[in-house]
Amino acid sequence: MANGVPALWGQVANVVNTVGLLAADAVNVLNMFAGPQWGIFNQDGTIAIQPDSMVSLDFRRDWKIPNYPVEQGSFESYNKVALPSITRIRITKGGTVTDRQSFLLQISAIAASLDLYNIVMPEGALIQNVNIVSDGINRTSTNGVGLLSIDLMLEEVRVTATASFSNTAAPSGADPVSTGSVQPQTPTTAQDAAAGLFT
């Protein structure tokens, strides 16, 4: 640098770093008011239940590799099947007795329903199509007087069956569909004669 000219490049870099940090802080502050990032949501994206906090979330996914025995005490493995995932969540709810009572009624209603829910985490991870299969409340004489601690277990549901219907004027006009085992019947004379050709 020439005499009398200040070293401005280091100061410009400090200003750029400060602006970057302020922008990151502004994004974090705005995200604090953006709504729930944890939760159990309906299929349409609305929140299903609104606890005071999500204490823990335990997600487990397993696979099964079927095995079958072969000769001389050996076995072979084939395929790999994904089993339904299990998610355990602990949530808490405080407030007045009326708040806690209405929250318990809400939990009971969605636990008894057949509706499917999505679990959302702050990282954007989404556990889809789950239903509550178990719920429980933890309370002791020293913990939980004014704060409910509720454990939920949710299991993945895979919806794969599709129904197809055809509109007919009378039920007898519908196409026959095999939906199970068929009882044997005595063959007709024509069937007997046709079968005799192949023997």
Tell me whether residue 175 is in a domain. no
Domain CATH for 78: 2.40.30.200
Distance CA(45)–CA(128), nearest Å, equals: 11
pLDDT tens readout for residues 33-46? 555 577 889 988 88
Q: What DSSP element (H or E) covers 129?
A: strand 126-138
Distance CA(81)–CA(69), nearest Å, equals: 18
pLDDT tens readout for residues 19-77? 666 666 666 655 555 555 778 899 888 889 989 888 899 999 999 998 888 888 888 98
Tell me whether residue 166 is in a domain. no
Name the amino acid, one letter, at 143. N
Tell me whether residue 84 is in a domain. yes
Tell me whether residue 16 is in a domain. no
Name the amino acid, one letter, at 93. K
Tokens of 142: 């020293």
Q: What is the residue-wise DSSP string for 10-24?
A: HHHHHHHHHHHHHHH
pLDDT tens readout for residues 153-189? 999 998 876 666 566 667 666 666 666 676 777 878 8
Q: Give residue 41's domain range.
A: 36-156
Tell me whether residue 25 is in a domain. no
Question: CB–CB of 42/117 below 8 Å?
Answer: yes
Domain count for the chain, please give it: 1
Tell me whether residue 178 is in a domain. no
